Structure formats: structure tokens, C-alpha cells
């Protein structure tokens, strides 16, 4: 984000707020599973007491005329009412030609029910209605617990949605009217009272206060806001009250864009997710093949039909790819929403998961490693006819159309000196080198040292600037008029961030459009590995490519708009300080603050997220490797055999372990 002039523009207006229907649907499903579970639980006791095998185990005989039909009737209620979610799931998966977990459970309970019903109506053998009942009971309980865990993983997103207040105090002709937030339009004026949430993005018109933006940007300290400062919808006001000029409607707000971004990222599938999906499909095939093979083996080796059936049902239940199917999505839901709460906005899941491979981080200097707030330290006239105030007055005319930190520094100095800024004609930005325009009939250029070098213009005698100062030269009608030096402080957090990267064996390189002396000074002060100075935006791309050709896995941090080509070329593009340009940035990840610690947090969080995914995948597959042979009966001769209910319990436990493991994910966030 070096001395290039980013012309002011409207924030991107494409994002729509997330609809809450999906969340409500999820809550309804949880309630449905809970209700079905309790109905089946009530029927479990009489079903168990009427089952022959349970009576034999208890040493009693409670059989009476028609008892088998009562048992059949109650089991039919359990099968149809309790098993309904699995049976409808089976039909859906068959229609979609993607047999998975619901297909396997539906198949298993249908086989168990059909066989047991045939026993009631004359087939020789032993029914296992009680196994069917306990299998459905445990599967309902497992789904209920799992869905609550899934909802918990998405709760961070829900919290983001709830940040947006539903009402606002709109000011019309000095009277305050309470209106719905979604009715606010650009240029409306709203009042924000103490302790309230800001209802819309905008600029403070009058008043001042401290705002808590931690839920939006990860910035833990309350931030002082005065007239002219931007405010974000959803941030919490302190003790002051102020009026805000609304920048845009609710659907275009920063928060709505974040919610949309998180929602999209949670739905998108990364390479790890595709790997898990493939494994789940194979597990479904293995379940069916192993289940049928187990049935044939036991039945053809002289065991009873009911024993062979029971083995098959247990194998199919154990093999359900449920934990495997949830292993990655739960971590994705948790990590994406959690990152957004800390100001790390993931646009591209693959870029985020690839952050664990980063070997080199290329830092833009201004506003990332430095505060980005340039202050004029010197104004030097090289023309006896032009005073210092005249030089900065002419320079400010050109800089008033720019948002660049250098421009901001010059304009602040003009404001401090109470100088009136003149108008410009034929304004033109010279990419990465400066600006030119006609001011009061004179052709004015405000240019960087790089422009002088490129156009073979000698730096004037008497020029002095220390290593930490950035310089712009002012040319009036082709004559060197003078120069302005500005200084930008290094952020207090920068040294710690670079040091943490070193501990992680990640190289840090400074890539800047600034002069070599400034770059060398900043690089040396922070203990960075190297620096590349006086680089124009189009050359940044070449430098990134050169690093990649040396075998480095490169993360590039820079302004989301100005550094777009380089960000797109980098293996992981990280746009910093581009809150209003979320959707416009080419980077895979957008950091709301320009804090270098956020970049470190992102890399560490990416590694932690990947670890969680792998832990879940290892658990979900490892459990099947051990449980499947036991379900098939390999240790039957040693007296170890699993019933369908135990199989269902083990499957539920594996799913809950995966859910709990995902929920333990945390952002290591240091300020």
C-alpha cells in the first residue's frame, strides 16, 4: 500500500444479509429428534419386558396369548415413528444416487424389522425387536446430541447475526423517530445513545464516544470516535451519545458482508472436505459389502438366520460414515465464524487451510508493519520564490482526491496550518509514482524518488532526509520547487509478530515502494530476513513469482485493491485493513485491522484448524478399523461379540467425540 493514489469510491454493494431460516429449521429438527427419542424411550420398557430373549435372561416367562402381536404393534410404532427420519433419509439418498449414513441406518432398521415381523407371522427363529428398538433409540439420541453440537459450532455466526440491532433512532427535523434498521437509507441521520449498538455503518456527524468493536474486528480495547470518524454497525457504544450520517442501507453494511462471507465460506468445500466426502462414500460401499459378506459367512457356516442378520445389522450400523461426514464440516463451521469474530475474514477455504504450508510472509510496509499514519516532519523549499506554506498548499490540492496515508498526512498538516486548499484540473494518478494536475494555471507534480530515478532527474543539492523518512518531491512547471518529508512510526506489535514467525521457521520479507534507506531501517529494526524496496505495484507480482520459483510457499499481505495482482499470485493472499472492500478484494483472506499480529494469528489458527480436521478424520476412520471386525464377529469364538445397540452406541460416541473436538478450537489471539 505504498505511494499509489487510491481514488475514493463507494464500498462494494453486493453482499446480502444471511437469512435466518436455516437456523430456525435446525432448531425445529433438534426438537423433532428430541420428541421422537422420548416416545421411543417410553415404549422401550414394555418392548424389553415382552421380548423372549430378555425374559430368558431374567429367568421368567411372561408370555401370554397375543403377547407377540402386542410386541409387534409397539415395535411397528417405534420403526415407523422413531425410524421415520432415517427412512425418509434413505429414500432421499437413493433418489440422489448418493447412498450414505441415512441409507445405511434405514437399510439396517428395515432388515431388522422385516425379519422380526416375519418371525411373528410364522417364520422359525428368534425376533430381535428389542435390538431394533434400542438401535433406533440410540440413533435418535445420537442425532439429537450431534445436532446440538453442530448448532453450537455455528453459534458464532448466529452471534454475528444478532449483533445487528433491529431498531434505530432516526433524526428528522431535530425530532427522533424509532424506526426498523432495515428501513434506513444512505444519508439518513441516526442518534446512538449510551450503551446502545450502532444501527448502521456511517460517519459521526456530531458528538464523540468510545466504541467497543471487539466482536467485529477483534480489537479488544474500546476505540475513541469523534466527528468525521467511521463507525461500524453492531459496535457497542460507551457512555457518550452521537449522531451518525448513514453510509448505506443494512444489506450493504460491513456486518452483512461479513455474515454473507462466513456463510459462503462455511458452505464451500475445501480439499480436506472433498477428501472426507470421498472417504465417506467408500465407507458406505465397504459397509454394504462387509455387511452382506458377514451375513453370508455366518449363515452358510451353520449359524441361525437371526444371528447372521444381527451380525449384518451391527456391521452396517458401526460402518455408518457419520463421524467421518462431520469431521471436517464441524471444524469448518467453527473456524470460519470464530475467525470472523477476531477480524480474520476467510473468503477462500483452501487459502486458509494452505496457511499451514507458508514458508515466507511478504509484508507491505505502510499501515501493516507501520502505523500508516504519516506526519509531515519537514517542508523544504528549493525555490527562493516559493515559501514552505506555498509548497504544501500546492501539494495538498493534488492529494485531496487520494486516500493514501501520505496524502492524509499532507492534508492534516494543511488543516493544522489553516491553509485553504485550491481546486485542480486535469488530475492524473501516475501509478505507484505520484500524481499530476493543473493548479491555478500551473502544472504541478507530487512525485516519489522512484519517478526522479526513472526520468533521470537528479535529486537536488541540499536534500536531506533520515532513514525513516518518506519523501515526496513537488515540481512546478517542470522546475523542482521543494520536497516534503513524512515519517511513519513502526507499530509496537510488529517486532513481536516478526519474532513469532521466526519461532515458527517462517521467513519475513519487506516489499515496499518506499526508498531503500527507509526499507533497510524498518527491516533491520524489526529483525526481518530481507527487504525489497522501490517496487511498483506491477513489479510486486514479479517479486512474488521469483520467490515461488525458489520453492517458497508465499503469503503476501497488502492493500486489497492496490496490490490485487500480487495478492492473486501469492499462494495465500492476505488483504489488510480493507473492511469496506471485503467482496472486492482478490485476496483469499481479509484482515479487518492492519495489525501484523493478526497475520501471525491467522497462520497459527490455520495450523490449529488443520490439526483439528486431521484429528477428527483419524478418529473417525480409526474407530471403524477397530469396531468393524468386532461387529463382524472375528472374536466370536473368544466370546466377544457386539450387539446392534452397542454398535449404535459406539457410532454415536465417535460422532460426539468429533463434535466435541471441533468445539475446542480456539484462536490464539495476542494484542
Region 58-83: mean pLDDT is 88
88 or 653, which is more confident? 88
Instruction: Tell me the percentage of the chain whose pLDDT exceeds 70.
Output: 85
Q: State phi, psi for 120 to the nearest 5 degrees.
A: -60, -40
The pLDDT value given to residue 10: 32
Q: What is the mean pLDDT of residues 321-333?
A: 75
- The residue assigned the cell 454475528 is 160
> Would you say residue 220 has pLDDT above 80?
no
Within this chain, domains 345-370+490-592 and 375-487 share the same CATH topology:
no
Q: Which of 70-74, 207-211, 421-425, 582-586 is most confident?
A: 70-74
* pLDDT computed for residue 360 by the predictor: 96
The catalytic site residues sit at 364
Could you tell me which CATH number the domain at 345-370+490-592 has?
A: 3.40.50.1000
Which residue would you say has higher pLDDT here, 560 or 411? 411
Euclidean distance between CA atoms 539 and 410, whole angstroms: 27
The dihedral formed by the CA atoms of 411, 417, 423 and 427, expressed in degrees to the nearest 10: -30
Q: What is the pLDDT of residues 110-121, one digit of tens each?
A: 888 988 898 888
Query: What is the model's pLDDT at position 345?
Result: 79
> Would you say residue 336 has pLDDT above 70?
yes
Cα 543 to Cα 358, 512, 539, 600: the distances in Å are 16, 11, 6, 22
Q: Calculate Rg over the CA atoms of the chain.
A: 33
The pLDDT, as a whole number, for residue 14 is 28
Give me the pLDDT at residue 584, please: 45
Q: What is the pLDDT of residue 18?
A: 37
Whether the pTM exceeds 0.85: the reply is no
For all residues of the chain together, what is the average pLDDT? 81
Q: Where are the alpha helices (DSSP H) in 342-444?
A: 349-354, 388-399, 405-416
Confidence of residue 400 (pLDDT cuts 50, 70, 90): confident
Q: What is the largest CA-CA distance in the chain?
A: 120
Give CA–CA dist 310/480, Å, rounded: 93
pLDDT the model gives residue 560: 52
Q: What is the distance, to the nearest Å, from the Cα of residue 21 to the centroid of all Cα atoms in its chain? A: 21
**H or E element at residue 276:** helix 271-300
Using CA atoms, how far apart are residues 570 and 348, in angstroms rounded to an integer?
13
Better-predicted residue by pLDDT, 560 or 109: 109
**Architecture per CATH, 165-252:** Distorted Sandwich (2.70)
pLDDT digits (tens, 9 = 90+) for 7-63: 333 333 323 333 445 556 667 888 898 999 999 999 988 988 887 767 777 777 777
When mean pLDDT is compared over 428-442, 456-470, 496-510, 612-626, the highest value belongs to 496-510
For residue 359, pLDDT over 80 is answered with yes
Determine the distance from the C-alpha atom of residue 611 to the mean position of all C-alpha atoms in its chain, rounded to a whole number.
16
151 pLDDT band, cuts 50/70/90, is low
Domain 375-487: CATH superfamily, name plus number: Calcium-transporting ATPase, cytoplasmic domain N (3.40.1110.10)
Q: Are strands 554-558 and 572-576 parallel, antiparallel or unpaired?
A: parallel
Torsion, Cα 307 121 129 99, to 10 degrees, reads 80
State the average pLDDT over residues 539-554: 92
Q: What percent of the chain shows pLDDT beyond 90? A: 19
Q: Does pLDDT of 155 surpass 60?
A: no
Domain boundaries in the chain?
21-155+264-332+612-663, 165-252, 345-370+490-592, 375-487
Amino acid at each position: 500500500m505504498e505511494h499509489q493514489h487510491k481514488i475514493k469510491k463507494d464500498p462494494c454493494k453486493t453482499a446480502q444479509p444471511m437469512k435466518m431460516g436455516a437456523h430456525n429449521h435446525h432448531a425445529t429438527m433438534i426438537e423433532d429428534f428430541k420428541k421422537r427419542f422420548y416416545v421411543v424411550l417410553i415404549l422401550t420398557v414394555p418392548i424389553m419386558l415382552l421380548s423372549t430373549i430378555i425374559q430368558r435372561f431374567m429367568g421368567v416367562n411372561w408370555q401370554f396369548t397375543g403377547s407377540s402381536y402386542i410386541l409387534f404393534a409397539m415395535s411397528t410404532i417405534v420403526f415407523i415413528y422413531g425410524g421415520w427420519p432415517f427412512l425418509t433419509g434413505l429414500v432421499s439418498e437413493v433418489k440422489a444416487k448418493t447412498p450414505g449414513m441415512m441409507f445405511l441406518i434405514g437399510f439396517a432398521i428395515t432388515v431388522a424389522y422385516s425379519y422380526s415381523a416375519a418371525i411373528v407371522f410364522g417364520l422359525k427363529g428368534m425376533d430381535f425387536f428389542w435390538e431394533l428398538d434400542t438401535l433406533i433409540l440410540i440413533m435418535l439420541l445420537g442425532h439429537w446430541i450431534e445436532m446440538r453440537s453442530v448448532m453450537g459450532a455455528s453459534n458464532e455466526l448466529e452471534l454475528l447475526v444478532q449483533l445487528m440491532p433491529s431498531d434505530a433512532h432516526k433524526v428528522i427535523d431535530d425530532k427522533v423517530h424509532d424506526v426498523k434498521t432495515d428501513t434506513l437509507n444512505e444519508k439518513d441521520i441516526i442518534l446512538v445513545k449510551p450503551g446502545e449498538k450502532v444501527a448502521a455503518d456511517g460517519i459521526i456527524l456530531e458528538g464523540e464516544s468510545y466504541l467497543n468493536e471487539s466482536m467485529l474486528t477483534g480489537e479488544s480495547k474500546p476505540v475513541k470516535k469523534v466527528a468525521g470518524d467511521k463507525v461500524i454497525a453492531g459496535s457497542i457504544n460507551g457512555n457518550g451519545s452521537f449522531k451518525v450520517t448513514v453510509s448505506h442501507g443494512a444489506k450493504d453494511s460491513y456486518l452483512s458482508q461479513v455474515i454473507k462471507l462466513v456463510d459462503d465460506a462455511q458452505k464451500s468445500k475445501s480439499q480436506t472436505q472433498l477428501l472426507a466426502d470421498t472417504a465417506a462414500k467408500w465407507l458406505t460401499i465397504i459397509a454394504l459389502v462387509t455387511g452382506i459378506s458377514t451375513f453370508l459367512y455366518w449363515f452358510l457356516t451353520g449359524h441361525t438366520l437371526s444371528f447372521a442378520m444381527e451380525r449384518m445389522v451391527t456391521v452396517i450400523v458401526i460402518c455408518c460414515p457419520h463421524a467421518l461426514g462431520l469431521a471436517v464440516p464441524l471444524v469448518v463451521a467453527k473456524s470460519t465464524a470464530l475467525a470472523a469474530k477476531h477480524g480474520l475474514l476467510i473468503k477462500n477455504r483452501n487459502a486458509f487451510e494452505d496457511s499451514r504450508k507458508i514458508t515466507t510472509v511478504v509484508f507491505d510496509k505502510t499501515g501493516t508493519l507501520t502505523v500508516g499514519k504519516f506526519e509531515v516532519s519537514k517542508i523544504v523549499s528549493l525555490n527562493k520564490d516559493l515559501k514552505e506554506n506555498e509548497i504544501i498548499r500546492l501539494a495538498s490540492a493534488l492529494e485531496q482526491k487520494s486516500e493514501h496515508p501520505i496524502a492524509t498526512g499532507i492534508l492534516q498538516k494543511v488543516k493544522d496550518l489553516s491553509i485553504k486548499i485550491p481546486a485542480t484540473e486535469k488530475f492524473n494518478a501516475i501509478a505507484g509514482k505520484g500524481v499530476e494536475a493543473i493548479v491555478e494555471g500551473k502544472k504541478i507534480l507530487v512525485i516519489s524518488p522512484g519517478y526522479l530515478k526513472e526520468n533521470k532527474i537528479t535529486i537536488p543539492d541540499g536534500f536531506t532526509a533520515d532513514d525513516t523518512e518518506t519523501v515526496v518531491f513537488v515540481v512546478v512547471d517542470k522546475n523542482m520547487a521543494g520536497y516534503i518529508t513524512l515519517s511513519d512510526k513502526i507499530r509496537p506489535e510488529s517486532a513481536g509478530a516478526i519474532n513469532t514467525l521466526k519461532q515458527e521457521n517462517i521467513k519475513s520479507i519487506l516489499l515496499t515502494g518506499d526508498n531503500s534507506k527507509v526499507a533497510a531501517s524498518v527491516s533491520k529494526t524489526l529483525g526481518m530476513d530481507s527487504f525489497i524496496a522501490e517496487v511498483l505495484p506491477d513489479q510486486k507480482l514479479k517479486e512474488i513469482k521469483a520467490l515461488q520459483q525458489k520453492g517458497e510457499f508465499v503469503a503476501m499481505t497488502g492493500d486489497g485493491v492496490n496490490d490485487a495482482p500480487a495478492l492473486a499470485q501469492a499462494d495465500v493472499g492476505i488483504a489488510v485493513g480493507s473492511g469496506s472492500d471485503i467482496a472486492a478484494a482478490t485476496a483469499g483472506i481479509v484482515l479487518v485491522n492492519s495489525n501484523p499480529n493478526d497475520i501471525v494469528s491467522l497462520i497459527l489458527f490455520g495450523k490449529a484448524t488443520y490439526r483439528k480436521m486431521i484429528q477428527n478424520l483419524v478418529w473417525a476412520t480409526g474407530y471403524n478399523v477397530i469396531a468393524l471386525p468386532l461387529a463382524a464377529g472375528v472374536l466370536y469364538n473368544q466370546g466377544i461379540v457386539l450387539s446392534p445397540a452397542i454398535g449404535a452406541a459406539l457410532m454415536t460416541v465417535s460422532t460426539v467425540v468429533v463434535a466435541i473436538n471441533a468445539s475446542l478450537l480456539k484462536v490464539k489471539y495476542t494484542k
